[in-house]
Every structure is written in C-alpha cells, then in structure tokens.
Chains A and B, each alone.
Chain A
Amino acid sequence: MPTVLVCSWGAGTFARGIEETLTFGRKLAAALHGELGLLVLGAVPQGAAELAGRYGAATLDTVSDPKLAAGAPDALVEALAQACRARAPRTLLFPQTFDARLVAPRLAARLDAAIVMNGIDAGVEDGGLRVTASAYGGDTHAVYEMTGEGLTIVAVSTMALRAEPAASPTTPTVGELPVDLSAVAERIRIVEAARTEGPRLEDAGIIVAGGRGLGAREHFALIEQLAEVLGGMAGASRPLVDEGWVDASRQVGLTGRITRPALYVAVGISGASQHMAGCAAAKTIVAINKDGDAAIFRHARYGIVGDCHEIVPELIRAARERRAGGP
C-alpha cells in the first residue's frame, strides 16, 4: 500500500507539475519509510506506467468512470474519496492546479483530513509530519505540524520545485480501482465554457511583463512591441490589471497566471512577492527598473537600472538588429 499517493486527472494528459509532485512525494515517502504511488483518474495518459516508474513509484492505480470524463468536481471528489478509502495512504498529494485548489479542500472535508495548500516542502520532525507552505504571497514560509495521525492532504506548489527522477527506476504494479459514482449528480452547470483566446501565458517560452513603472496606459505598447520582437508574449503585474489598462488574462502573479518561461523580462515591476510567485520559476529573469534597490534585482540574472521609456525602445532596436543579422 502506498504511504504517499500522488493524484492526477485530465483529458488523457497529466496535470501540470506532476513530475515535481512525484519528486516531492518520493522524498516524503522515504522520510516516512514508505512507498510512493501514483493515482490517475479518468483517461490514462500514454506512458503513465513509465512516468510512475521513472519517479520511483511502487504502484500505479487507475480509476475510470464515464462521469470522470468531463473533469467535473463532484465526480472527482467522490472518486478520490473512494480511492483514498481503498488505498488508505498516509498522505495524498495534488499538483496545485486551478482545479485542485477546489477539489483538494472539498476532499479534505469528506475524509476529515488535515489539509495544507501551497506546499513547497515536507518531512518528518520529532516523529510528526511537517509541511512547509508559502504564505503572504511568498514573503514568508509557514511550517505546519499535523496534530494527528490521520490522512494529510497537501497541494504542492510545483513552480519553485525541480523534477528529479529516481536514481533507479521502478516497475510499478498497475491496477484498476473500482469506484461507484452512480449517486453523483453534478450540481454546477456550465453555461458558457472557458475559451482560450490565443496562446496562454502559462505556455509561453518568453514573457515581457510591464508594471506600474510604465506610468501610463499607452506605454504598455512598448511591452507588446518588445514581446513581439523577442517572439514572446506580453504580461503585466496586478496594478495594471486593477487599473484596467490590460486584461486579467495578462496578469502574472499569485492570483493571476503562474508562469514558467525560459526568459522573463520585467519592466517597471518592483518585484513584490505576490508578483514573483507567478514568475520566480523562470529560467532567466531580466529586470529593468529605475530604482536600483527594487526587489526585482534580487531575483534577476541581468538588470538595467534606468528609465524604461528610454531603455525599452533601445532594446527593441537591438533585438530587431540581432534578428536581422545586424551588428
């Protein structure tokens, strides 16, 4: 029986952050002297057993039911509750996706389980389970202790974590867990489905984001131009969205989009923790800010201290020249 069970669902794909969550789970299972398992609900993605094995899972449980196809919450919560009762793990882990933010606490209520969201670390201390989670948008880390021995559910904030396959891969035991969802009737009716309009910031390889330092709505065009010439997407910090300068779909941050680009160019952004929660996982961060003491420079690989209205047009020019094969 797995001690630590990682769960995932999706239309034949794994939840974002599954590999980081499996890494988190393997380390926790080792600390608890137990086994890691993977639980997949709905359509099983190709290569699921291979992925589970690569991260050292001892088991791969699948749960299939037609009611799981739509990814609707009532069916997911009930299926997870039945699967957890059957497998009785000590800890259940979710990659913290948008959906998991609702499903995980609802499941905790059903199973009377301890729950911690935004988990970034977990281990055993004085014989008890400890979970570290980010708080205040990342300004602090809170270490929580579980007071009892019952099930603990942790939603893992995977953006700051690194996926590390197991030193020696395993061959997981694969099995189907039966569930009975006949009593489930979804209580929430979708009137208009979400439509992705164009590419999503979450998937962008390069993001150029503007903040309050732009000073005026019309200057956001500079951000869009630089993004275009770099082949990336334009993003923004929350104040610009609150001001109504840009659409909420552009907002990078704790309560906006959680991104993971290769390159993140922050223009006129101070680097508040709430913002960094949405971009700290970028491989390279570039900061352009007139305040040399701005927090963003602590996160950046490269920085230019100066007026973004002077620097960004030069950057656009330099990037265009490079693209044209110029000097």
Chain B
Amino acid sequence: MSTKIKYFFEQSWLLMVSSVVFGLLLAVTDAAWKPRIEQNVVNRFTSLAGGLLTEAERFEPIAQTISIDIKGKAVPVEVKRGLNAAGQTVGWAFVCEGSGFADKIRLVVATDAAFTKMAGFGVLFSNETPGFGDKINITPANGGFYQPQFIGAPVGTLTLTKTGDPAVIDDHIVAISGATVTSQAVVDTLNAWLVPIREKMAAEGLLK
C-alpha cells in the first residue's frame, strides 16, 4: 500500500504543486481585479440607464427584493431607482434577459416614475446577426430605427408588426427588416418582464 502511495506521489507531485501554484496565482489575480470588473458592470449599466433617464443623476438599488416568474422559474430582478439632483424619483431601471436569434439578449430597460411608460432600452449583451439583428444595438443618436419606437411606449403588451409607421409611439413595434426573430425576441422579453415587475413593485408600495 505504501508502495502504491509512494508511486502516486512520484508520478503526480508536479501536477499537485502546479495546481496549487496556479490556483494561488488565479486567486491573487481575481482578488486584484475583481473590484474593477464589478465596477465596469455597474458603469455599463449606469451609462445605458443614464442615457435613457437623462434627468437621473444617480441610480440606487431599491431595498426590496423583486422576483418574477419567467417560464416557471423565479428570477430575481435588481431594480434601481433613478434620482435627480433633488433626490426625486425620475424613473426605474433594471436588466432583463431573453432568448434572441443567435444567443441570449440582455437589455437595460428604463421606465418613467409611474412605471406606465417606457423610457427605452439599451443593449447590454447580444450576439445577433451583423447587419440585421444587431441593429437593435443602434441608438437613436446614431440613427437607430428600432430603439426609438420604445421611448414613450406604454408598459403593457407590445405587438410586433412588419409594416407601419415607426414614428408613431404606441404598443405596435415595427420589426427590423430581415430581422423579425430578433425584433420579436426584444418584444417578447419586454412583455415577459415589464408587467410582472410593475405588479411586484406596486405590491411593495413603490409606485405612486
């Protein structure tokens, strides 16, 4: 038995030592850079949400835990309150996620303070087809066609149409030509998340 143990250590000592050394190296690297990585995530959210709620000076997470049901699973949602310089709530922002054509789509969504109208959305992550589905990333400032339709749209059930006037702000969203699946994915995601979040927030007494 001792011969077997000795053989085991003779064969694998380098592997074990390397594992410990590399593990320590990774732990140190992670400890050094983790705060920066987490801050990058916060900055990205703040940047997108700030572009949607222009009156907001800062975003603070709400104290309550909001959890909604998405396809039978309880999904936690970190809702942040947009506050202006006077400390008044100008809107709400949160991250929602759904399945796109190629990969998942993660959006930062903002609404007004009453949670009755959308302030728009920004794309945190998507991997949609270049030149087609990735047009959901194009902001209004860059001549986007799709995103502006959501600014001022009602929080409720949105419907995707293939034809129509995108300049008319209502619950009908005109799809990106050649990217119906991606366009529908964004609409479906918003339909699945917005109303349940509003209901939960209303139940918590957060909405006036």
* A and B are interacting partners: no
Interface residues of chain A, those whose CB is within 8 Å of chain B, are: none
Interface residues of chain B, those whose CB is within 8 Å of chain A, are: none
